[in-house]
Each structure stands twice: as structure tokens, then as C-alpha cells.
Chains A and B, each alone.
Chain A
Amino acid sequence: MSFRFPKSAVLRHEAILLLVLVLEVVFFRVAGRNFGTVDNVANIVRHSVEIGLLALVMMPVILTGGIDLSVGSLLGLCAVLFGKLWRDAGLPWEVAALTTLGLGALAGGFNAALITGLRLPPLIVTLGTYSLFRGLAEAITHGTDAFTRFPETFLFLGTGRIAGVPTQAWIFVVLAIAVWLLVHRTTFGRSWRAIGFSPEGARYAGLSVGRRLTFAYVLAGLMAGLAAITYTARFGTAKADAGTGYELAAITAVVLGGTSIFGGVGSVHGTLLGVAAIAVLSNGLSRLPATMSNAAELSGLLTGVLLIVALAGGALPGWIAARRGRRNATPSVPATSGV
């Protein structure tokens, strides 16, 4: 069955992205060292799971026309809370992990309460909680404390393999499918889209806009909690600076994946392609002799440029049409408060 959103522009966007991804893979297989090995593929997956998880939930948020800048900070806060619960409160790690997920959801709910309750712009609210969550993480760890020496059973989550595939990859695949279904196959996704296109229109259609928005932000918080767990398990330490800059990486992946920052348009598979394109790029660059030494910077730079190109490319046809059509069209300088 075909997707219900045959927005040709979106499909074209995703097709181009897929092509970019394939070209990347082909190029790095030819030019790179050990790029195609099983170990390296596992490596790519391991390294991109946290950003992938955040991108998965950033997508619905952006679909509603919102944004969540606080997920990276929340990842840090959750990692620290998890360490605190396990080490200082003496909880078994399983219980600590579950509690952390709950706290993440709670933090997402806090964002949602300010956004839906006080009708504040998501950009500004989450900018505030971006500072707050990171600040709380630093306060809890006194800025320097780090939690280490987690039990082996826990570290298995981040370093082990099941059937040859990294443990967290399984988690990611399950959640990716779940979010895909949620966005493309349930009334939640339909409502998010409607809200993204027209929040007032959705309200007049009898949709519970507040509750649906809250769900998107709570989901983002919950996933930040989960990402904190896999992050901690992967590195074996929980520090206050965990996940710094991850919110930007996640937003980049989502926008690169064809989701409109204005809301309403986008797909989860596009987001997954966006995550993959960035992950392959950064890993591949580290496998090229020429770029091996500064792969991280180069991939960051290319990601930024890609983002601008993707944005401008998406807007350019409309812009040209507007230029050609009527110069006096309503100015389309978008305002931030709508974001």
C-alpha cells in the first residue's frame, strides 16, 4: 500500500536523500579503509543510536510546527539522574533505568505544560529548559562528578551484541518501527500533521490539540531518557555534559530528512535516511586516509552545509515562483514565534 501522503515534493526529497546515501556508501567502500566490514557497520550503528532516537521523536515535534531544543540537555540530566539513582540511592540498575525514563517523560511534560498551558512559543520555552536541564545536571554532579563502574549486565546494553547485532540497534529498530507506525498509521500522526498545518483548524475540527501536543513533547522527554541510558551504557560513564549538541544533530537529521520546519509535512523514513546519511558521512570520512585525522570536523562542516542546501533547495522553487510572479507578494519573512 502506498503512503497516504503522496506529497510529491517529499517523495522526491527522500529519493534524492536515498541517492545521496547510496553514493556515500559506494564512495566510501571504494575509497575508504575497512568501511564495509561488519565491525565498522556495527560501529556506525552504535554511534548513531542516541542521535537517531532523538531524531525519531524530534520528527513528530517538528511535524506539529514546534521544536524541542532541550533534548540534548535532558539526555545529560537523565544520565546523571540515572547514575545518582543507581549509585547513591542504591537502586538496581533496571529500576533506576525505568525511573529515569519516567523522569524524562516528566521533563517533557514540563515543556509541554509551558507550551500548551501558557501558549508560549516552543522555541523559547525549550531554549529555557535547555539551560535549566543542563544546569541541573551540573548542580547534581557538582560540575565534576562522574558515575562509573556500572554492572556488566547494564553495559551489555551499550557494548554487547545480540545475534551479531549491537544491542542498542535492536532497541532502535523496534522504536523506529513504533514511531513510524505512530506517525504514518495512527490518528496521532494524523492529528500532529493537522496541528502542524493549522493549529486553529485542528482545534475547530474537534481534535484535542493540547493533549496531542503534550504527547509529542512527553515522547521526546521519554526518548531523551532512553537515549541517556544507551549513551551511559555505551561510554560506561554518566557525566553532566552527556549529549551536548545532540539536539542540533537531531534537528539537522530531521530537516535533512525532508520534514518541513513549518510543520505538517514530513516522514519518519525520511528522518531515518537523514540520520543514516549523516552517520555514514562522519564514519566514512574517518575511513578515508585523506580525511582520517579530522573526520569529525569535516563531517560536521558538511552536515551544516548540507542543511543549508537542503533548506534553500526546498524553498528555492517557491522563491523563484514568487519572484517571477509578483514582486509585491506578501512578504514571507517568517517569524520565530511561530516555530
Chain B
Amino acid sequence: MSPLLKLTSVTKSFGAVRALKGVSFDLRAGEVHALLGENGAGKSTLIKVIAGAHQPDGGTLEIGGQRVTQLTPQAAHRLGIACIYQQPALFPDLKVSENIGLRLEPISLLRRINWAARRERAAQLLQRLGADISPDAEAGSLSMPEQQLVEIACALGAGARIVIMDEPTASLTQTEQHRLFAVVRDLRADGVGVIYISHRLDEIFALADRVTVLRDGESVGTRDVVARPSSVVRRVPNERSARPHPGPLPQGEEVSQPATGLTKHATFADPLTTILPLPAGEGRGQGERVLEPAGLSDSSPPPITESELIRLMVGREVSSIYPAAESEPGEVVLSLRELGCTASGVKKITLDLRAGEIVGLAGLVGAGRTELARVLFGLTPADSGEIQLNGHPVSIRSPQEAVTQGIAYVPEDRRRHGVILEMPIAHNLTMAIHPRLFPGTWLRFGAERTHALEAMHDLAVKAAGPDALGGSLSGGNQQKVALARWLATRPRVLILDEPTQGVDVGAKSEIHKIIRRLAQEGMAVLLISSDLPEVLGMSDRIAVMRGGEIVAMMPGGSDAHAVMAAALGQDRGES
């Protein structure tokens, strides 16, 4: 039996950027195949290729055993592919029922719309998901998880055979996650192939049958996943298709146990698929699916462990790569007292930040870390509590005031916020120091160039020159430019938001060294990162956020499990 979907050596470039350098991947009916990789590894591009939103430059794509070229979103839709993007692609101005209707009804121009039937169908689908959403609500008024549920309802309604989910749990509460997992298992039981993208390892071990790891645009391995903490013995009619080996319990030194305590229902629609060898050229030498020792294969690798997974993602062991602190932190520079901002959901933050200290902000996506940074930088000013700098209360109502007070913020989304892509590097580098570099508002091109060259030299920015456009740089170099822009303001407090996201390994460790050096020179650094090893390795202290609050303070080098447990909480509940 051929797989539902098979990609062989797929490549895709955007201009000079090679997003996919040869990805091979396959999906069988009735399996959950996790796709894992750091940000920028090419996951999004890959799923867009599968969904027909991007045309691959090279390689082959087979759906249901048929070679497919020139796949369009419509064709993908017809072939039973449904994609649930991280940012739900709904029409904010239209009702939920219409959002579902537009996806499911045939695309013809002069068809009469039956609103009652639309509404009825939407209500049924939503009910099947157990979602408490009115079909008459405007999609734009729904919360992010609700919008995702609407997307899943669309996929359900379309009778999709291949469902792609891009980090579906990123903003879900625990209860919603449970419900989602149940939905995914139902889909699997119905013989649907699910591509599940997540960076939460606990989810992958709870839900996935196989995992493929992407790194720098290449697939570096496809492996079996065995459920933890215990695998369920499957009842299969054919005794040749033995059940997966429970395998050794993973050591899991990096990421916590799944707080959900979920177990996998290993219900495969087609047991034969479990003994099919992986297609040649797939992964790197992982030949076959894991079988009972007495089974067919005697040389297949054991199911993957968490540390192996992390190693595959990162490309090397993750220990001992972080520069250590060499001096004691000094005076308290920044002090937050019960700081809150209703608009962005930041609540009662109390935190001290010392000179020369790196405080890591850990937490899940949506826990309020970026929101806190935005409050401190005056983008969404606080409406309660107090900010003190060097012991004096200050008011920060705008980014300009934050800059004046010596607070710098290197934002998460560097392509939209960190660097202006259409402007030369030199202009980007001097943008935050106009008053100092250009007294009397007159531009001084000579001084600007000198400054730019120095800054580029300091952080080893690789570029054609200071006149090269920001958009021509690689991710890591863009990040360095964004950082250098703020270092030029000589801040007392530096807030870094995901400074190494989508940055290649080499640049990543350079950025780590720079951050440590800055702290060494007396800067107070607040480091926001979703990369748990990074937070653990870099921080002198770690503040864990959940639901807009700091829920735990831990010393640097704390146990990953403890941090993760605090970040997950018992149940985050609705906020």
C-alpha cells in the first residue's frame, strides 16, 4: 500500500534564501506524523508546499500514489488536504458559519447560498468537536483557540484525508488541548493521516506515531515514537504485524513529563502500514519501523528518545555550549512592583533585575512574556503598579521614553519590527540614536558610516557593507543588526525577545557570547526565549510566566522539568 503522501528531495528557494534544501517525507493513512524543527528549519515552507500554497522548485510530490505537479490550494483541497495554520486563515468580518461554508461549498460563481443549511452544517461540525462556538459569531471576535477549532471543523467537514496542524496547541488551555488530542485521535482512527507540527516534545510523545526532524531546510531523520509513560498493547488481527516495542523510557533530561498524563491509543486503521519499510532515501539510515524483538527486523533502531530528538534538531549535544558568568551581579537596576497592563493581560509583575545579571523569562507561547516586554518598552503602557530604575520610580508611556530611560528592546519578529528590510544597514543601526549621532537633526553621513562600520565589526556582522539593505542579510546577521542598533543606545536594561529564533547554529553561539559579554560589562539583561536549554544555560535567574503572571523564580541552571512544570501549571484555565 502506498503512503497517502510522499515527498522526495523537495527543494524551495525564495530569492537567495534556500528554505528547503531537499526534504523527504511520507505520511501513511491512520498515523500522526510529527514534524519537528527549530524555527526557521523549514517547517512552514514544507507544509505550504503540501497545501499547494507554494510550488516546489525541485523534487517530487506524490499524493495517494499519484505524482502531482502544479499543486494549487484548490487542487490540494480537492485531493483531501486540509491545513490548519498557526494563524488561522479565517475571514474576520464574516460569520463562523460562512467561514466554514466558504471552505466546504464548491467554488462556483452563481450558486444560491442556503444560509439555513450552512448554519446547520456548521453547528453540527462544531458540535462534533465539542466546541462551544456560535455559528453566528463573527470569526474576528473569536479567541485564537476558538478560531483554530473553526479551522479544524473545516477540515472535518471537508472529509480531509490529510490534515496538517501547525502548532495547534500553542495558545490552547489544558482542557482545550485534551479535546484537541481526542479529535486528533478520532481522525487517526478514521484513517486520516495527520501531520502534526509542534515544538512541545511532550505532545509529540503523547500523540505521534512517527516523527521527522527538519534542520536548516533538510530532513535529518524520521523515527518511530513510542508512547510514554506506557504504551498500549494493540489488538491486531494479523500476528505478523507485531505491536511496537514499549522501548526504554526516555531519559527526558531536557523536557518535562507530559503534565497531561495522556496515553496513546494506538489504533491504526491499517496495521499493514506498520510493517512497511520506510521508503528508500528517507531519513538517514533508519530503515524500518520498530518491531517486537521476535519480529521481522533485527537491525532497526530503537524508538527515539527525547535527547536524541533534541540532538537531531540542534545537530549536536546541547550541553556545555553556554558561556558561564564570571562575576557577581551588582546593584538592582530595574525593579518592577505589581506591574500590570489590562490591555495586554500582564498582571502584578514583581521582579528585580541587577546590573550584570541575565534574568531568563521562561514560559509557553502566549504566557505574557512578550507582552511584559512591550509594557516595559512603552508600546502598551502599564496601567497599574510601578517601574523603578536605579531606585527612582519612572513612567514609561512610549518607546521614546523607554529609550530615554535606558531601556532597549530587541523584538521577537525581527523582519517586521527588528530591522527595516528596505533600508541600508547603516540607517538601521543608527535609528535609535538619532539625537546623539545627529545633533540638531542634521544627518552626518560620515559619522553614520563610521558608527555602522564599528558596530558591524563589533558584532561581526557579515554583509556586503553598511549600504547593503537589511533585507539582504541572513537571519543571524539581521539579528545582530537589530541588537547592535540597541547596544548603540548604551542601555542600562536590555530586553531580548527570542534572540536566537531562526538563527543558524554558529550565529546562535556568537549571539550567546555577546549577551554574556554585555552582562559582564554591567548591563541588566532580560532574556525571553522559548528555547528551554537556552534559558537554562544563559540565565543567572529564571522567572517563569504563565497567564500573564510570574509564577516561579528559579536559580540559573535549574532543572528543565521544574521550569516546564511551572510553565504548564496544573491547568492554566481560561483567562
Contacts and interface: CB of A to CB of B under 8 A. Distances in A.
**Would A and B touch once assembled, by the CB under 8 A criterion?**
yes
Nearest to B408: A206
A205 B443 contact: no
B416 A200 contact: yes
B445 A1 contact: yes
A265 B445 CA distance: 19
B442 A205 contact: no
B411 interface: yes
Contacts of A198: 416, 420-422
A202 B420 contact: yes
Interface stretch (A37-45, A67-75, A186-194): A186-194
A203 B398 CA distance: 9
A186 B420 contact: no
B423 A205 contact: no
A264 B417 CA distance: 16
A208 interface: yes
Contacts of B409: 204
Given A190-B434, A190-B443, A206 B399 contact: yes
Contacts of B364: none
Contact of A201 (B416, B441, B443, B445): B416
Nearest to A202: B420
Nearest to B424: A4
A185 interface: yes
Contacts of B441: 186-188
Nearest to A326: B55
Interface residues of B, number: 35
Nearest to B403: A206
B406 to A, nearest CB: 12
Contact of B400 (A185, A208, A326): A208
Interface residues of A, number: 28
A191 B433 CA distance: 12
A6 B53 CA distance: 35
B173 interface: no
Interface string B40-67: 0000000000001111000000000000
A336 interface: no
Contacts of B445: 1, 4
B398 A208 contact: yes
Contact of B417 (A188, A204, A328): A204
B442 A207 contact: no
A261 to B, nearest CB: 15
B432 A187 contact: no
A197 interface: yes
Contacts of B398: 208
A204 B434 contact: no
A194 B416 contact: no
B72 A194 contact: no
Give the residue among A194, A205, A328 with the most B Cβ atoms within 10 A: A205
A187 B417 contact: no
Contacts of A191: 434
A4 B467 CA distance: 9
A253 to B, nearest CB: 24
21 contacts: A1-B445, A186-B438, A187-B434, A187-B441, A187-B442, A187-B443, A189-B443, A190-B434, A194-B431, A197-B420, A197-B421, A198-B416, A198-B420, A198-B422, A201-B416, A201-B419, A201-B420, A204-B409, A205-B485, A206-B403, A208-B398
Q: Which 10 A-B pairs have the closest CB atoms?
A: A204-B417, A205-B431, A206-B403, A201-B420, A197-B422, A187-B434, A186-B441, A206-B399, A187-B441, A206-B432
